[in-house]
Structures are given as C-alpha cells and as structure tokens.
Amino acid sequence: MSILEEFQPLFHPTSVALVGASADPAKFGYHCLQSLLKGDFKGSIYPVNPSLKEVCGLKAYPSVKDIPDKVDLAIIIVATALVPQVLTECGEKGIKGVVLITAGFKEREESKGEEAQREIAAIANRYGIKVIGPNTHGMANLHANLDASFTPEFSLVKKGGVSLLSQSGGFCHLIAWLAIPENLPFSKIVGLGNRCNVDFADLLDYLEQDPDTKVVTLYIEGTDDARRLVQKARQVSRKKPMLALKSGVSSAKDQASQFHTGSLAGSYEINRAALRQAGIVMVDSSQEFVDAAKALLLCPLPRGKGVAIITGQAGPGILATDCCEPNGLTLARFSPRTQSRLCELLPPLSIRTNPVDMGPAWFDWKTCIKVVEAVLEDENVDALVLCAVYASLNEVLLRELCPLLKGLHQGKPVIVCFPSPPTAWEAERRGIESYGVPVYSTPERAVKALSALVRRQEIVAAHGQEHSC
C-alpha cells in the first residue's frame, strides 16, 4: 500500500463517525459535529452516542459497530476510560483512521497516563489504525472539505498549498486566525497531540507525496524521535519547501511543554540548528511563520540575496532598507545601465539609486511599471520589494498598476508592502497575490518574508552541491 493510500482514510474519508456526538453546545462533541457540517463535508456523517436517537437532525448510533455502512474515519471525543473500548470497536468495524481528541494520556503527570497511552497505541497498531492524537484539537483537510476538529471556524481558512503539522492545537488555531485575513491557503492543518502512533516523521512521508501540499510547515516543541524527524526533513526538503517554528528556547518553560504533549522540549538534541541543517527554513514568531509560508508558496526563488527596493513614499522604503541587513539580505548595486535608465525615467526629485524613492513620479503608473521593469532586468537584482502606503490619491494608480505586475517578475520574487485601512485595496491585494506576488502590511514583514525565500534558495543550493559530490 502506498503512503497516500495508507493515509487515505484519515485525510480523504468517504464517511466519518463522530463518537461522542452531542447536541449540547457546552460539549466538545457538539462543536465537532458543527465542524463537519459547517466544513461542508460531502461524505456520510454518523453521530455515535448510546443515549441519543438523533443529533442535530442526524440519526445517531449506539456504537460504530451499529453503523450500517463502511466507515473510514472516526473522530473520538469520549471519557478517557472509554477510549480503549471505543478504539477496539473501531478496529473491529474496520475503521483505519482515528482522530482521538480525548485527553488524559501521556500528558498526565502520573505514570498511569503513559501506561494508558501505550495501551491505546497497542490497540491501534493491532488493527492497523492510524491515530491522530490523543490530546488533540483535531485536524482539517481543506481539500476534502473535512474539518475533523472541535473548531468549525477552520473552514474559514482558504483552501490551498500550505500544510501544517503542529504539536500544539493552540498553535493551529493561532496560525489559522492569522492566515484568514492574510489570505494564506492551507491544505492539511494537523494537531499531532501526544502522537501515539502517528508522529511528525510519518506525516512528513505523507506530505512529501501529497499532491495538494506545496509547502510543509511544522510547529515543534519536542519529540521522542529527533533523529527520525531530522532524517525525514532532510528528505522532504529536497522536494518541497519546509518551514518551522521550534519553541522551547527558554529553560523556564521546559516544564510546560513537557507536560503539554508528553515530551521534553529541550532534550533529545532536537534544536533549531539541527532542523536548519536538515533543510528547514526556521522562523522566530507566529507572524513570521505565516508571512514566510505565503512567500514560499507564491514566489519563485531568488538567485542570490541582492534586493532592490522601490518605494512610493520614503519612510516605508527606509524601514524596508533597514530591515535587509539584519535578515541576511543585501541592497543590490544597480548596473550602470539601470542607473542611466532610472535617470531617464525619473525626475530629479526622485531617488534614483537603490532604494528607489519614486517621489512625485509615483503617481504616474506608466512610469512606475517602467521603473519596475528596469530594476528587475538588472542582473545584480535578485528580488524586488515594492512599497507603498494607501492614500485615496493613489487608489487609481494601484488599480492600474496591479494587473501589470502579472508576468513582470522575470523569474525573480517580487514582494509587495501595501498597508491600507481595513477593506481598502482588498481586491487589489488578492489580485496581486494571484500573480505570485505576496502582499504584506508592514515593510519589516515584507523583508522578513523575502529573507525566508533567500534561506530556501540556500538550502536548495546546498542540496544541489550534495548531489554533484
């Protein structure tokens, strides 16, 4: 069985049982059902609850074994003590995928928790069930209209090429809520929980093959099998861009992440340096995570780290410039040809060196486009950051300029910083992004996103050298 087939019941089920379904909005089982419904899941949904005949208009079954149909995936949210029995019934029913939301296993402070987790892992392995969890918020596969979590709002996230494997459900929520206004599209969003028989490495194998996943992103606290994770990352990063945030920098919180999903953050030598060497672009904050994922998804890679900045207003251009060096980028020195072209195109009130400050010429979109073209043609320029702030005065400009950015980039990444009041320029932002040009709302975020592309390029180059050895 191929890896895609192995994970088919989890990520592309044709029917889902929800064990612990509830009509009470105070219960997880209610919200899980809402997730399936609001996510617009196209397959069959079977609520399971021995004390109910019907839940939210759907017929309920006493046990998975009573469901008259084949079931691919079971979402389980029952009392901890009931999990072994429910899992056994799932196995007997032939269910091969389980999302086990119930907590109270390895993350407990007593050894009993670890024992309980070993027990359920044994049951799952006996029946060949792949389990996401326990102690997870769940997961979503937007390409299958499947929100198998207790949060229906995951279906608000746009469908697209980024997949996230996270050791924290809270992080999945955080990233999803940042992603929605950023228009960052996701495929799989997986809360790994305590990882009883599906760990990072297993899902990396899957995501490497998954045609819907273009960028693989990870949130890591700690892992029991660092070596395998690093090995897999080295393999996957040859094929797809990988991005990660590793938490657990401070010693004070080691205790927190230890108990969180039952693993020690600082131990097992899993650290940022090892992950970076494995070919993962490492970021420092949740906002950077979202921003870098967008750039990695949309942009071609730069050939080097020489950046050109073109700005409509000096201030934001200076902020972008300041941000280059600390993020490993250099300001490109324009060739004499570009320099003289800019002097032709721009009046003396503009700054015609890098960073290019358009000055009053900013309001003439035909000149803007020529300046963008001239700069992108320069062989010293590996990438372009284009900055402008919204003012009603340049609204028309942007509407004319945006469609022209399509196909302009000549294989070089173009990153745009267009801060604007809420809802202004929304259509334009979406339009620009559809041409492979990500848009950010501060100069610093734009430059940091670009630096992720440069780091990805360095990883690709290093892989190439390994090949040629």
Task: Note whether 138 binds a second copy by CB under 8 A.
Answer: no
Per CB under 8 A, which region of 53-61, 123-131, 169-177, 375-383 contacts a second copy?
169-177
Min dist. Cβ of residue 3 to a second copy (A): 27
Min dist. Cβ of residue 331 to a second copy (A): 4
CA distances from 443 to 340, 387, 388, 448 (A): 27, 7, 9, 9
Considering only residues 23, 44, 63, 104, which one is a binding residue for a second copy as defined by CB under 8 A?
A: 104
Considering only residues 3, 4, 156, 404, which one is a binding residue for a second copy as defined by CB under 8 A?
A: 156
Q: What is the 3-state secondary structure (H, E, C) of the chain?
A: CCHHHHCHHHHCCCEEEEECCCCCCCCHHHHHHHHHHHCCCCCEEEEECCCCCEECCEECECCHHHCCCCCCEEEECCCHHHHHHHHHHHHHHCCCEEEECCCCCCCCCCHHHHHHHHHHHHHHHHHCCEEECCCCCEEEEHHHCEEEECCHHHHHCCEEEEEEEECCHHHHHHHHHHHHHHCCCEEEEEECCCCCCCCHHHHHHHHHHCCCCCEEEEEECCCCCHHHHHHHHHHHCCCCCEEEEECCCCHHHHHHHHHHCCCCCCCCCCCHHHHHHCCCEECCCHHHHHHHHHHHHHCCCCCCCEEEEEECCHHHHHHHHHHHHHHCCEECCCCHHHHHHHHHHCCCCCECCCCEECHHHHHCHHHHHHHHHHHHHCCCCCEEEEECCCCHHHHHHHHHHHHHCCCCCCCCCEEEECCCCCCCCHHHHHHHHHCCCCEECCHHHHHHHHHHHHHHHHHHHHHHHHHHC
Which CB sits closer to a second copy, 104 or 304?
104
Length reported for the chain:
469
Which CB sits closer to a second copy, 129 or 157?
157
Per CB under 8 A, which region of 168-176, 204-212, 401-409, 458-466 contacts a second copy?
168-176
What x/- string results for residues 427 through 446 when contact with a second copy is judged by CB under 8 A? --------------xxxxx-
Which CB sits closer to a second copy, 96 or 188?
188
Min dist. Cβ of residue 253 to a second copy (A): 4
Min dist. Cβ of residue 197 to a second copy (A): 21
Q: How many CA atoms lie within 13 A of 121 on its CB side?
A: 15
Task: Note whether 424 binds a second copy by CB under 8 A.
Answer: yes
Q: How far apart are CA 215 and CA 213, in angstroms?
A: 6
Which CB sits closer to a second copy, 346 or 459?
346
Per CB under 8 A, which region of 104-112, 224-232, 365-373, 402-410 contacts a second copy?
104-112
Task: Note whether 127 binds a second copy by CB under 8 A.
Answer: no
User: In the window 308-327, what residues touch a second copy (CB under 8 A)?
Assistant: 311-319, 321-326
Which CB sits closer to a second copy, 68 or 348?
348
Cis preceding-peptide flag for 336 (omega within 30 of 0): no
Task: Note whether 419 binds a second copy by CB under 8 A.
Answer: yes
Applying CB under 8 A, the site for a second copy has a residue count of 91
What x/- string results for residues 256 through 275 when contact with a second copy is judged by CB under 8 A? xx-xxx---x----------
In sign, the C-alpha dihedral spanning 59, 63, 69, 73 is positive
Question: What phi and psi values does residue 288 have, to the nearest 5 degrees?
Answer: -60, -35
What x/- string results for residues 36 through 75 when contact with a second copy is judged by CB under 8 A? ----------------------------------------
Considering only residues 69, 70, 85, 250, which one is a binding residue for a second copy as defined by CB under 8 A?
A: 250
User: In the window 357-416, what residues touch a second copy (CB under 8 A)?
Assistant: 357, 359-360, 389-393, 396
Per CB under 8 A, which region of 10-18, 175-183, 273-281, 335-343 contacts a second copy?
175-183
Which CB sits closer to a second copy, 253 or 276?
253
Min dist. Cβ of residue 340 to a second copy (A): 16
Min dist. Cβ of residue 318 to a second copy (A): 5
Min dist. Cβ of residue 385 to a second copy (A): 12
Considering only residues 62, 85, 118, 170, which one is a binding residue for a second copy as defined by CB under 8 A?
A: 170
Min dist. Cβ of residue 335 to a second copy (A): 16
User: In the window 218-247, what residues touch a second copy (CB under 8 A)?
Assistant: 219, 221, 245, 247
What x/- string results for residues 322 through 361 when contact with a second copy is judged by CB under 8 A? xxxxx----x----------------xx-x-xxx-x-xx-
Considering only residues 23, 37, 178, 404, which one is a binding residue for a second copy as defined by CB under 8 A?
A: 178
What x/- string results for residues 268 through 307 when contact with a second copy is judged by CB under 8 A? ----------------xxxx--------------------
Rounded to the nearest angstrom, the gap between the alpha carbon of residue 139 and the centroid of all alpha carbons in its chain is 13
